[in-house]
C-alpha cells in the first residue's frame, strides 16, 4: 500500500514538476490517473522551494531581486507548466469564437499576442503582490519568516486544489489521446477528492493560527474557481489541461490579493 502511494506521489511529482525522481518512476496512466490527490502537495514543495530561494537571496540582495529570484525558481521547478497553460488559455479564449477554434488555438505550440500579454501581466502582478507581502512583514523575528513560508506554501497549495477540483466536477473535452493531461482526466475516486482537499487546505488552516482572517481567502479562491469553471463550460463545454494551468495561476494571484486585502482591512 505504501509503495503504491509512493509510486503515485512520484508520478505526480514527475508530471507536475521538473524535480528529479527515482528511475523506476514513469508516466504510467494507472498512477497518473490517481495523481490528482497529490497535486496540492506538489504545491507544498514548489512553495517551500520558492520561499527557500527567496530567503537565501534576501540575505545578500534587496527585496526586489530576491522576489524575482524566488519567482524564477518556481518557474524552473515546474518547467513553466502552469504559465504555459495560462498563455494558451489567453490565446485560445482571446482569439477563438467557437469551441473548435478555441481548442485548435490552445493546441498550437506557438504563443500569440494574447498569451504574451497575459503572461507578462500576471507575472508583474505576482511580483508586486509578493513585494507588498514581504515588505509588510519583513524578517525581523523568526515567527515572521515562518508565517511567510506557510503563506508561500498555502498560495501554491490552494491554487492547485482549485485546479484539481475542476477535474472532479467538469468534463474533459479534448478527444485526442496524445494530450498531456489526458491521463489525469479519465477517472477519480473519493481518495483523490479527500487527498487533494486535505493537502490544499491544510496550509491555510495552519496559517490561520497566526492570522485567523486568512480563512476568508478560501471564499475568494472558491468564487474565482467557480466563475472560471463556468466560463470554460460555457465556451468549450468543460476543461482542458491548459484550463487547469490557467486556473492555478489566477487563483494563486487571487490568494495573494486576498491576503493583502484581509490584512489591510479586516
Most confident of 28-32, 190-194, 206-210, 218-222: 218-222
Model confidence at 176, pLDDT cuts 50, 70, 90, reads low
Q: What are 45-54's pLDDT values in tens digits?
A: 999 999 999 9
- Report the C-alpha gap between 26 and 35 in whole angstroms: 12
Among 149, 170, 159, 6, CA closest to 78: 159
Contact 262, 214 (CB under 8 A): yes
Cell of 65: 531581486
Residue 37 or residue 248, greater confidence: 248
What pLDDT is recorded for position 179?
57
Total Cβ atoms within 10 A of residue 161 = 26
Cell of 112: 500569440
Where do the structural domains in the chain lie, given as residue ranges? 6-265
Residue 123 or residue 32, greater confidence: 123
Q: Determine the length of the chain.
A: 266
Q: What are 39-79's pLDDT values in tens digits?
A: 999 999 999 999 999 999 999 999 999 999 999 999 999 99
Q: Residue 109: phi, psi to the nearest 5?
A: -70, -15
Contact 175, 107 (CB under 8 A): no
The β-bridge partners of 172 are 239
- Report the C-alpha gap between 209 and 121 in whole angstroms: 33
Among 175, 169, 179, 185, CA closest to 230: 169
pTM of the model: 0.92
- Report the C-alpha gap between 122 and 185 in whole angstroms: 26
Q: Residue 239: phi, psi to the nearest 5?
A: -145, 165
List Cβ neighbours of 253 (8 Å cut-off, separation of 6 or more): 122, 125, 126, 129
Amino acid at each position: 500500500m505504501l509503495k503504491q502511494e509512493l509510486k503515485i506521489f512520484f508520478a505526480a511529482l514527475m508530471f507536475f514538476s521538473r524535480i528529479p525522481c527515482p528511475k523506476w518512476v514513469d508516466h504510467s496512466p494507472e498512477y497518473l490517473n490517481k495523481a490528482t490527490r497529490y497535486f496540492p502537495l506538489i504545491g507544498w514543495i514548489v512553495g517551500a522551494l520558492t520561499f527557500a530561494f527567496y530567503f537565501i537571496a534576501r540575505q545578500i540582495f534587496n527585496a526586489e531581486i530576491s522576489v524575482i529570484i524566488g519567482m524564477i525558481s518556481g518557474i524552473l521547478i515546474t518547467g513553466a507548466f502552469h504559465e504555459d497553460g495560462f498563455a494558451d488559455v489567453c490565446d485560445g479564449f482571446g482569439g477563438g469564437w467557437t469551441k473548435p477554434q478555441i481548442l485548435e488555438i490552445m493546441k498550437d505550440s506557438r504563443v500569440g499576442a494574447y498569451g504574451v500579454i497575459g503572461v507578462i501581466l500576471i507575472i508583474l502582478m505576482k511580483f508586486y503582490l509578493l513585494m507588498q507581502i514581504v515588505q509588510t512583514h519583513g524578517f525581523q523575528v523568526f515567527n515572521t519568516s515562518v508565517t511567510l513560508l506557510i503563506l508561500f506554501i498555502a498560495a501554491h497549495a490552494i491554487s492547485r486544489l482549485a485546479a484539481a477540483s475542476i477535474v472532479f466536477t467538469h468534463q474533459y473535452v479534448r478527444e485526442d489521446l496524445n494530450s498531456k493531461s489526458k491521463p489525469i482526466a479519465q477517472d477519480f475516486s473519493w481518495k483523490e477528492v479527500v487527498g487533494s482537499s486535505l493537502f490544499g487546505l491544510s496550509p491555510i488552516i495552519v496559517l490561520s493560527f497566526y492570522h485567523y482572517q486568512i480563512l476568508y481567502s478560501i471564499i475568494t479562491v472558491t468564487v474565482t474557481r467557480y466563475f472560471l469553471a463556468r466560463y470554460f463550460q460555457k465556451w468549450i463545454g468543460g476543461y482542458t489541461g491548459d484550463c487547469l494551468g490557467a486556473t492555478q495561476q489566477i487563483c494563486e494571484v487571487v490568494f495573494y490579493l486576498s491576503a493583502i486585502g484581509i490584512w489591510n482591512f479586516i
